[in-house]
Amino acid sequence: MNPAYVPLYYVLLFPYGENGWHPDMQLHQSAQGEDKRLTHLRYVAYYLYPRRNKYSTILQGGRLLQRYLVDMYAIIDQSRLRYLFYNQPMLWASLYSGLEDAVAFGDDEIDLHDLGR
């Protein structure tokens, strides 16, 4: 989560020491005036995209690039797991919304014991 982790660990890939991704990064301001949060996956994908007339030290990294990709995958996967862990009540509530709909709009002959399984 620290924006200094990636440039300090992968000094050869980020020679200018620019900050890496952090949770408060914004993607852009939409027409409605609300900001969208930039995900870590999109941030990494932006740096991995080859561009014409621009030299990319990341894409020339060889084995260090592979290590960087594995590390970024592990970080992104860990953040997804963290989201699932801390948002269990909300996720379970969406699971039960289908049960509420079946009871509200269903027949009177619904066996509630079989419906939730």
**Structural domain boundaries in the chain:** 5-86
Mean model confidence pLDDT for the chain: 81
Higher-confidence residue of 78 and 117: namely 78
**Cα 57 from Cα 43, distance rounded (Å):** 16
Higher-confidence residue of 81 and 90: namely 81
The predicted structure's pLDDT at residue 100: 66
pLDDT tens digits for range 37-83: 888 899 899 889 988 888 888 888 899 999 999 999 999 999 999 98
Q: What is the mean pLDDT of residues 84-94?
A: 78
The predicted structure's pLDDT at residue 78: 93
The predicted structure's pLDDT at residue 29: 65
With a pLDDT cut of 90, the percent of the chain lying above it is: 20
pLDDT at 94 over 60: no
Burial zone of 87 (CB within 10 Å; 0-12 exposed, 13-18 middle, 19+ buried): exposed
When pLDDT is cut at 50, 70 and 90, the band that residue 34 belongs to is: low
Mark 2-14 as b/e (b = at least 16 C-beta within 10 Å): eeeebbeebeebb
